[in-house]
Structure 1
Amino acid sequence: MSSLLLPWLILIPIIGGFFCWISERLSNILPRWIALFTMVVLVALSLYFWGTGNWSNAPHPDISSALVGDQSKWWAFYFHLNWIPQLGISIHLGMDGVSILLITLTAILGLLAVLCSWKEINSRVGFFYLNLMWILGGVIGVFVAIDLFLFFLFWETMLIPMFFLIALWGHSGSDGKTRIYAATKFFIFTQASGLLMLVSIITLALKHYTNTGTMTFDYMQLLGTNLGGLEYILMLGFFIAFAVKLPVVPIHSWLPDAHAQAPTAGSVDLAGILLKTAAFGILRFAIPLFPNASLEFAPIAIWLGIFSIIYGAILAFKQTDIKRLIAYTSISHMGFILVGIYSGSPLALQGVVIQMIAHGFSAAALFISSGQLYERLHTRDMRLMGGLWGKITYLPAIMLFFNAASLGLPGTGNFVGEFMILIGAFPADKVAVSIAAFGLVLASIYSLIVMQRVFYGTTRGNFHEPIQGLCKRELGMMFILIVLLILLGIYPQPVLDTSAATMNGVHAWFSSNLVSR
């Protein structure tokens, strides 16, 4: 149904960020409270949409193109406003089951990002929260934009604020070069790949204009455009942009640098939210717009996912910086998502949704925990840690839980997602999925390495003085994530019901021929 509230999901963090910025002149505390209030409102609005939507509505190839004007057949909520009619560009927003799940994830992790930066950020506080809020606004825009020009605009909107978060508030040496290098590398990788997607979007719109005489960037009108030999090339333009952001090996090297230098809130947003925009982009755009090319490309994509799983896990073993280690584990987990998407199986596609949410929670928790360690020890080097189990109240047990969840502990959402992906994808490529299952063994090894190096053995750092335990704010953040991960693990049905129609549509576009090979 039509909803005037839909644009407010984007406007609330953007307006809230602006007020954070201007309130800095009055007090350094005020921007924090404005950001917190903004995120509480955003969480509440997200839950309202989730509770009131009809999630049986989703894009599907069986819906006749003659019904493009009847938005109720496609979206639970939609909004349309002409913007540049001469070019067929409009402010066109649509929400389906996967959209609302990822928006809710964004709102919750955004709230936690505000809380974990409460004491970490002490300079240019208002400008920090401006960038943090605008990242969230851009991400939500990506999840609801169904005009391809608007989608690209939001896709690029995420980049500049994240660049500032890393470059201005990141960790580095006294000269600041390390964080600037990481921020620049992130920007170049994502900007260059984004330009490839822009070329593909414009070419797709022009091809549609050639075929129909109508210039448009509307997602639903562009579906089914006869592209001929261009389809594979245009699909690659989209896929490369999404593969860089996911990221997929070998175009992943920006991620460990960005995570290592980013402030804790930046890492929470990056791992928990931004990486999911890439998986969403594949599900929403790359496969439905280019189904034949996607089907042809699927075996390559599956093996890229397998390579990412194994390579990310092996590289994680060799890290001494705890944030770089967690970054490489994210690469490995994103490999499972890529395998699940391109298997084309309905079960695996549903597992992808669970895995995206579970990884968002567990990765965010691990980065928050590493930030809490850094705040107390002033180092991320695991060679300077050790023997901390009895020296920091609550944190060792909390990190043990999230490390176990990350490797797929039964009873957590990570286990459900990975299990569904492996079982669902097995008919598509038995050899590849068997290798992917071995990646779970590697995950258990690097998870245990973190615990052994940080909390067991002899103390290798100068930590003779008492180390402060977790405060109520920090415990509250961890408690929220623990509860959400366990709920997702023992009762995933509400999430599966919400995403079912969307994933059935992706499966229908992708063709059942793939899973019966």
Structure 2
Amino acid sequence: MPYILSIVTFLPLVGALAVLMARVMAKSEEAAAGPARWIALIASLVVLAVSVVLVAGFDPSNPAYQFVEMVPWFAGASYHLGVDGISILFVLLSAFLLPICIIASWSSIKERVAEYMIAFLILETLLIGVFTALDLFLFYIFFEGTLVPMFIIIGVWGGANRIYAAYKLFLYTLLGSVLMLAAMLYMAATAGTSSIPELTAYDWPVGVQTFLWLAFFASFAVKMPMWPVHTWLPDAHVQAPTAGSVILAGILLKLGGYGFIRFNLPMFPDASEYFTPLVMVLSVIAIIYTSLVAFRQTDIKKLIAYSSVAHMGFVTMGIFAGNDQGVQGAVFQMISHGLISSALFLCVGVVYDRMHTREIAFYGGLTSRMPWFAAIFLMFTMANVGLPGTSGFIGEVLTMVGAYQVSTWAVFFAASGVILSAVYALTLYRNVMFGEITNPALKAITDIDRRELLIFVPLIIGTIWLGVYPAAVLDITQASVSAVTAAYQTAIGG
């Protein structure tokens, strides 16, 4: 299919325009809500179908960029799209999660429904654009553009402190990205091109690599987020609507890890090797410290948010191991986390829609009233811990195997973080699900309905399938990851 990348990137924008037309033609906000939901859902499903066609036509044995589109744009920059074995899975993950977000918001969002759907569809275009862009400045436009709809989603449909959380997200991310923009301008001026493949092949002097690496690291570390620039994430998650948390944890956090793999590791190999001990230290602190902080949380959503920071610690550890197992594990962990963390935030949304509180102390004994929900929550809790047979296990093990070849002490401490994750996750489950119902308000709570079951089924299938058959991801990423790590090892003399 010609121009398939442009189609999959901008189809959500077409859906957003259709929702806007429905809103304009409707006599009232309430009259526009129903058509807006259906148009957004249909548009997102079409995008998912096109992304499946894209993956079906992809050649995993070819490490080069495929489905390439290139049109000169301005000042030497180009509209340049392409995907490899790493980026194509994130395109699929983005397309996979958006219909789930729309169905999850079906009844919980009652005000400005059309505007809400438009924001999500625009966000989908920008996210897919990040993973398909092969021009430095096109990448930057998509990368920074994701901030705007996310800022609006949190700021308009979020909780009581939504304005504070939205501004904190915006300012943290923007500050790091200013340094990255300066580095991009220098790179384009020096190399005479803004093409990412050409810049990857460019031989940057060692002294220059250090500054460029730090500039890109500043942006991607905030986006991951790495310790200590992670503090925006718990606030953003707590204030965001359920679907906002799903897209934030499922896709937005992955932009940082994707950036490390696409820019820091292959473009600045000497600087990456030099700073690897620093990254290992920050990763280990993130895994252990945020696991301990998660254990002390009283808000379910904030606990899961801190667990995301800990899981991203495994990702950074795997990426900067700079070998096949580490980078493969990092990509797998990001895909896996996109499924598991999304499901956990949806689980929080189920009880929040019924009781309008996320306080752990409010709950207890839900198993007797919500057996289906209890089973689903248990499944994703165990996947989050890294139970063998789930996708969470594969990602953590692979990243630690890769990192072990570089730093045995980092893996030793990271493994203790796995134990800590079991402590806070199972404690949460025990407090919410087991025991007697002591809160009278919970005696009327109902189990999940068909709509809620519908959003969990694909996530359950994905989590178990990747846990049992990890080759579904690893076979696609193998050639591209090997090309990145082989070039990195050659550059550092490994």
TM-score (norm 2): 0.96
| Counterpart residue type for residue 160 of structure 1 | V
Cα deviation, residue 510, structure 1: 2.2
3-state DSSP of counterpart to 1:80: strand
Q: State which of 193, 198, 201 in structure 2 corresponds to 1:216.
A: 193
| Counterpart residue type for residue 479 of structure 1 | V
Runs of 4+ in structure 1 over 2 Å off? 24-27, 55-58, 225-228, 457-462, 512-516
> How far apart in 1 are the matches of 2:481 and 2:280?
18
For 1:124, the equivalent position in structure 2 comes to 112
1:93–1:147 Cα contact (<8 Å) kept: yes
Q: State which of 77, 99, 103 in structure 1 corresponds to 2:67.
A: 77
Q: Does 1:482 align with 2:443?
A: no
Alignment of 1:176-215 (within 5 A): 178-208=161-191, 215=192
Q: State which of 353, 356, 367 in structure 2 corresponds to 1:389.
A: 367
Cα deviation, residue 449, structure 1: 1.4
1:16–1:133 Cα contact (<8 Å) kept: yes
Cα deviation, residue 509, structure 1: 2.8
3-state DSSP of counterpart to 1:229: helix
For 1:153, the equivalent position in structure 2 comes to 141
Against the structure 1 CA distance between its residues 512 and 370, is the aligned structure 2 distance closer, same or farther, given a 3 Å change threshold? farther
Alignment of 1:62-73 (within 5 A): none
2:4–2:54 Cα contact (<8 Å) kept: no
Cα deviation, residue 389, structure 1: 1.2
With 453-462 and 14-23 compared, the bigger mean Cα shift is at: 453-462
Q: Does 1:54 align with 2:59?
A: yes
Cα deviation, residue 229, structure 1: 1.8
Alignment of 1:426-441 (within 5 A): 426-441=404-419
> How far apart in 1 are the matches of 2:368 and 2:437?
11
3-state DSSP of counterpart to 2:193: coil
For 1:30, the equivalent position in structure 2 comes to 35
> How far apart in 1 are the matches of 2:326 and 2:206?
29
> How far apart in 2 are the matches of 1:515 and 1:308?
30
| Counterpart residue type for residue 11 of structure 1 | F
Cα deviation, residue 134, structure 1: 1.2
1:295–1:510 Cα contact (<8 Å) kept: no
Alignment of 1:97-176 (within 5 A): 97-172=85-160
Q: Does 1:331 align with 2:306?
A: no
1:231–1:290 Cα contact (<8 Å) kept: yes
With 357-366 and 347-356 compared, the bigger mean Cα shift is at: 347-356
With 418-427 and 263-272 compared, the bigger mean Cα shift is at: 418-427
1:196–1:241 Cα contact (<8 Å) kept: yes
Q: Does 1:6 align with 2:5?
A: yes
3-state DSSP of counterpart to 1:463: helix
For 1:64, the equivalent position in structure 2 comes to none
Cα deviation, residue 460, structure 1: 4.6
Against the structure 1 CA distance between its residues 289 and 3, is the aligned structure 2 distance closer, same or farther, given a 3 Å change threshold? farther
Against the structure 1 CA distance between its residues 82 and 464, is the aligned structure 2 distance closer, same or farther, given a 3 Å change threshold? closer
| Identical amino acids, percent of aligned pairs | 40
3-state DSSP of counterpart to 2:417: helix
1:55–1:76 Cα contact (<8 Å) kept: no
Structure number with higher helix proportion: 2
| Counterpart residue type for residue 66 of structure 2 | A
> How far apart in 2 are the matches of 1:289 and 1:424?
20
| Counterpart residue type for residue 453 of structure 2 | L
> How far apart in 2 are the matches of 1:400 and 1:262?
24
Cα deviation, residue 55, structure 1: 2.3
For 2:344, the equivalent position in structure 1 comes to 366
1:389–1:396 Cα contact (<8 Å) kept: yes
Cα deviation, residue 228, structure 1: 4.5
Q: Deviations over 1:200-227 (max 9, x none)?
A: 101111222xxxxxx3211122222434
Q: State which of 253, 262, 275 in structure 1 corresponds to 2:231.
A: 253
Cα deviation, residue 144, structure 1: 0.8
